[in-house]
Structure 1
Amino acid sequence: MFNEIGNAIIKNRLVGKAAKIGTGIEVERDRIDESGHLSTQPYPHDIGNEATNPWITNDFLETMSEVVTPPAKNDLDTLHYSYAITLTLRKALAKNEMLWPLSMPPVLPKVKDESLLAKASPKKRKYIEGLYHRYGVSRQTPSGVHINVSIDDEIIAFLLEHFGTRFKRSVDVQNYVYPIVAQGFIKYRWLLTYLFGASPVAQANYFKPGEGPTHPVRSIRQSSYGYPTSFAVDYSSVEKYAEKIMNAVKDGKIMSIAEFYGAVRFKGSKDLNELKEKGIKYIELRMFDLDPTADVALKTTTLRFVRLLMLYFVMVGSTSTDDVTAELATAQQMNEEVAVENPTDKCKYESEAREFTARLREFVNYLELGPEYLEVLNDVEDKVNNPNLTLSGYLVSQIKDGSLLDFGIAKAKQYQSDGLESKYQFNGFKGTDGNISAEQLKQGLFDGNWQPK
């Protein structure tokens, strides 16, 4: 089952260390009023400056808030960070203002012009305006969860030492292992869309007449109806990845590397030439819709499943052929098919899902990873057996007159009410531009209720 890296990790009793996958999450949500329309209130003044606060910023729209966590090595730490920062945002909102819990946007105004765009630094504003002129407002408004995952530094150091004849620098290890992990997540993106896709419908004024799907789907956002994609990237190596993206910029397909909206992105440097030299530090997974059934838009079990997949891809590998590009192109097509399936229908790739989860179970049992991972796999298998248990399957039951507006407003009110009941008020952003360090954030955010490691 295991590749040579997996066998080396097992032989040297480093499975526990390898399982300590670093994670950080970025959660986008729209600020809305009580009727489910975009808020007309400005960025909350109690949380610093939207252009300089790295932990609570805005995205494409002025009303699109983004909560960013520092990296952590524990599922609960990651989600507690997101929870605490989100509480800070909720308490700073204007009266009758809330956070929209769904990936597809709330009711958009009839006039979708530049007045809706985020206030930002001159460089970011120029980029946002470029997106507006390329795609308009609607295509840029779906929100999601980005999960950043990294391999423990001790594992990188061990692999450098153990495979010293192959790798000369830590960079060589990073640029070897991370593309393998990325390939795994691309290959099984369709399964993640099946399990966690949560954008079955859009509000009536999102699509132009005749442009949207004709029935509820698993994920508009993760399908060709969602974010625009103008070219395929090559994940077989960091060099080919960088070359594809830089050629797309050169050919005018995208304005800059930031406009590459792939489901997985290599991270470590904003300059792709530097990325090749300095090494991939982590990968960004962009294929998760907001989970409207969770206050922080992501469940602990989902994050744990991501950790399990990450460990599996490191120790087992992902692709089964020499032609990585062709295999991943097939996987992309599988994801499109799954994304536009009716949420209550059995998945076209049900047998493949069963086979893969069986391999994951064998992996967990052999390594004795623990009951928490078996619980996650039990949940995954239940959803493969019954599509009504998936997020999109559940949301279909909440649709009224082709809309999730009532459901979204009810959830937004519930989460806002819960947030305002919490006793602790974080004031670390007040009187500053919001640009505080991760350590300052950690020290002031929890007040003894939680102590991230």
Structure 2
Amino acid sequence: MSDSLATLIERLAGPARQGQFSRLRRGLEKEGLRVNPVGRIAQTPHPAALGSKLTHPHVTTDYSEALLEYITPVTCRPADAMAFLGDLHRYTYRYLGDELIWPASMPSRLSGNDSVPIADYGTSNVGTMKRVYRKGLDVRYGRIMQAIAGVHYNVSLPDDLWKLLRAMEGAADTPMADYRSQRYFGLIRNFRRHSWLLLYLFGASPALDRSFLPDGREIPDKLQAHGTETLISPWATSLRMSDLGYQNKVQAQLKICFNSLSNYVNTLRNAISTPWPAYAALGVKDGAAWRQLNANILQIENEYYSDIRPKRVTRHGETPSQALEASGVEYIEVRCLDLNPLLTLGLDETQIHFVDAFVMWCLLAESPWISDEECESLDDNRRLVVERGRDPELRLCDQGRGRSVAEWGGEILAAIDGVAGLLDELEEGNPHRDAVAALAPRLADPSLTPSGQLLARLKESGEEFSDAMLALAREQAERLRCEPMDPARQALFEELVGISQRQQQEIEAADRVDFDDFLADYFARARESRIIGEVSP
């Protein structure tokens, strides 16, 4: 732990004991493919009994009609978030018939690109835009990549803490929105430097079904055959986060290293306004039918893939970047977490407590701007851990020094433990420090990681990846179908079915312009700046 961090923790200990900053607030977004009883991606529509996927606040779909997405409310206690997520699963299983929720990030056995159905959000202009955007992802990258699932972890720091930190720094003259955005971007830079640790500790996708690779594609050298239908990467942690998953060579040129809000927003705005010849060659429309929203580097900002994003709840008519410009960063979205198939809900409270402590450490530790050289180095570190994280010979680059995952990770965990102690001042017991202690053995013994455990299971049993995941899906479904729900949440979910369906009907009835005019107006407004004040470094 650096001297500066140790000093800051000591200064914050008293205020923490006095309750001068409250708990972190987080919301979970958890995806999961619907599959049929034999483990093939479901071709059925999103169950109408679950409500409208366009307007339901808690049950929707991501790319595919079969890719369920659960969204919890914002909570202060991890146990509350997990209880809500669990009941979303239990409620859904009442209406899935014999279908199952796939427990892994890498998809089930596929039958080519067209076996991944694109989500349909109805006839409104907003719903049509969501579908055309997904059609654009298909023509650019293919649908198979969009069948990957994960957990998105949205977290915000308490207002009391921002006030305390600003006062301690003597920054009272800095508007709070500016100060908060500066500090959030410092957090994001440190996250980018060290997200390899989360990939190592929680990566759970070292294997995939052969059907994930397009027909005729040569098997990459990093993959080895296991059985007849499975490919594994012996030292990998998260193939989902590798170049097989959410990666894009065109987007790589954007070089967003999160040094400032203005740089981030301007880079994204340029990307959604700059044509890309290869995408133009695909065609934006085929006659009257839309193939993609536009031929630019990004169709919309959501197309940018990153392991973390600064976010703010948008108002009507705002794009995500405009919301950030107008009012600053409100929370961050962590996007690098795999589903852990060995856990019924894909994650647990220990992981949440650890990520909370990790995020807080990223905030409190010094975070200088990232140079172009460092940006390349940290990208290399993430790639190495994704592909070879459990290899004892692996060395990462720490400011020019080669370091093992165990050595560097142990040093980081020691620093996180100090920050975890601050978070535990408000808790019964020490859940954050206990989480750090529970995960520390994974550094010394890679077989304890989720990726290590999954590969061990495949090797010991000789199972194919899809067969092993199907067995887990059946076990989890049986458990969830038998468990009782909280009566109040059950009543809420039942009420939201009708409410969401009526809301979709109202949106569709309210449209007054055709889709072409709607889209032209959207992009004209998206190019407008909403800056209300310069957020300086």
Relative to the length of structure 1, the TM-score reads 0.88
Aligned residue for 1:428?
495
Aligned residue for 1:285?
334
State the alpha-carbon separation in 1 of the partners of residues 500 and 55 from structure 2. 6
State the alpha-carbon separation in 1 of the partners of residues 60 and 166 from structure 2. 37
Aligned residue for 2:237?
218
CA contact (8 A) 1:20 1:152 kept: yes
1:101-112 mapped onto 2 (5 Å cutoff)? 101-110=103-112, 112=113
State the alpha-carbon separation in 2 of the partners of residues 421 and 263 from structure 1. 35
State the alpha-carbon separation in 2 of the partners of residues 70 and 77 from structure 1. 9
**CA shift for structure 1 position 129:** 0.7
State the alpha-carbon separation in 1 of the partners of residues 169 and 326 from structure 2. 20
**CA shift for structure 1 position 435:** 8.1
**CA shift for structure 1 position 161:** 5.4
Structure 1's 191 and 155: CA in aligned 2 closer, same or farther, altered over 3 A? same
Aligned residue for 2:308?
264
**Structure 2 residue aligned with 1:332, among 376, 379, 390?**
379
**Structure 2 residue aligned with 1:227, among 246, 250, 254?**
246
Structure 1's 66 and 279: CA in aligned 2 closer, same or farther, altered over 3 A? same
3-state SS of the aligned residue for 2:436?
A: helix
Aligned residue for 1:448?
none
CA contact (8 A) 2:423 2:432 kept: no
1:300-339 mapped onto 2 (5 Å cutoff)? 300-317=349-366, 319=367, 322-339=369-386
CA contact (8 A) 2:60 2:70 kept: yes
**CA shift for structure 1 position 14:** 6.5
**CA shift for structure 1 position 314:** 2.4
Query: Aligned AA for 1:65?
Result: L
Aligned residue for 1:242?
265
CA contact (8 A) 1:102 1:292 kept: yes
3-state SS of the aligned residue for 1:287?
A: strand
The number of residues matched between the two structures is: 432
Q: Which range is displaced more, 346-355 or 358-367?
A: 358-367
Aligned residue for 1:441?
none
Query: Aligned AA for 2:338?
Result: D
State the alpha-carbon separation in 1 of the partners of residues 177 and 84 from structure 2. 29
Q: Which range is displaced more, 241-250 or 65-74?
A: 241-250
1:78-93 mapped onto 2 (5 Å cutoff)? 78-93=81-96
CA contact (8 A) 2:424 2:432 kept: no
Aligned residue for 1:254?
298
CA contact (8 A) 1:195 1:383 kept: yes
State the alpha-carbon separation in 2 of the partners of residues 295 and 170 from structure 1. 40
**CA shift for structure 1 position 184:** 1.9
Query: Aligned pair 1:45/2:48, yes or no?
Result: yes
3-state SS of the aligned residue for 1:36?
A: coil
3-state SS of the aligned residue for 1:225?
A: coil
**Structure 2 residue aligned with 1:407, among 422, 444, 468?**
468
Structure 1's 324 and 25: CA in aligned 2 closer, same or farther, altered over 3 A? farther
CA contact (8 A) 1:32 1:100 kept: yes
Structure 2: gaps of 5 or more residues: 122-126, 225-232, 275-295, 396-403, 504-537
**CA shift for structure 1 position 183:** 1.4
**Structure 1 residue aligned with 2:347, among 289, 292, 298?**
298
1:326-405 mapped onto 2 (5 Å cutoff)? 326-341=373-388, 343=390, 345=392, 348=395, 349-350=404-405, 351-364=407-420, 369=425, 371-399=430-458, 403-405=464-466
Query: Aligned AA for 1:185?
Result: F
Relative to the length of structure 2, the TM-score reads 0.75
State the alpha-carbon separation in 2 of the partners of residues 138 and 253 from structure 1. 20
**CA shift for structure 1 position 170:** 2.1
State the alpha-carbon separation in 1 of the partners of residues 203 and 472 from structure 2. 18
Structure 1's 88 and 239: CA in aligned 2 closer, same or farther, altered over 3 A? same
**Structure 2 residue aligned with 1:197, among 183, 188, 203?**
203
Aligned residue for 1:443?
none
Structure 1's 114 and 174: CA in aligned 2 closer, same or farther, altered over 3 A? farther
State the alpha-carbon separation in 1 of the partners of residues 117 and 105 from structure 2. 18
Identity, % of aligned pairs?
23
3-state SS of the aligned residue for 1:428?
A: helix
**CA shift for structure 1 position 404:** 1.4
CA contact (8 A) 1:47 1:430 kept: yes
Query: Aligned AA for 1:117?
Result: I
3-state SS of the aligned residue for 1:70?
A: coil
Query: Aligned pair 1:139/2:145, yes or no?
Result: yes
CA contact (8 A) 2:259 2:369 kept: no
**CA shift for structure 1 position 367:** 8.0
CA contact (8 A) 1:105 1:142 kept: yes
**CA shift for structure 1 position 222:** 1.2
CA contact (8 A) 1:98 1:412 kept: yes
**CA shift for structure 1 position 395:** 0.6
Q: Deviations over 1:24-61 (max 9, x none)?
A: 11011000011110112221121111222121101111
Structure 1: gaps of 5 or more residues: 437-453
**CA shift for structure 1 position 13:** 4.2
State the alpha-carbon separation in 2 of the partners of residues 228 and 63 from structure 1. 22
State the alpha-carbon separation in 2 of the partners of residues 7 and 124 from structure 1. 49
Structure 1's 137 and 15: CA in aligned 2 closer, same or farther, altered over 3 A? farther
Instruction: Tell me the C-alpha RMSD between the 2 structures.
Output: 2.6
State the alpha-carbon separation in 1 of the partners of residues 476 and 271 from structure 2. 41
3-state SS of the aligned residue for 2:92?
A: helix
Structure 1's 14 and 249: CA in aligned 2 closer, same or farther, altered over 3 A? farther
**CA shift for structure 1 position 315:** 2.4
CA contact (8 A) 1:57 1:67 kept: yes
**Structure 2 residue aligned with 1:175, among 181, 188, 191?**
181
Structure 1's 276 and 6: CA in aligned 2 closer, same or farther, altered over 3 A? farther
CA contact (8 A) 2:361 2:415 kept: no
3-state SS of the aligned residue for 1:250?
A: coil
Structure 1's 382 and 197: CA in aligned 2 closer, same or farther, altered over 3 A? same
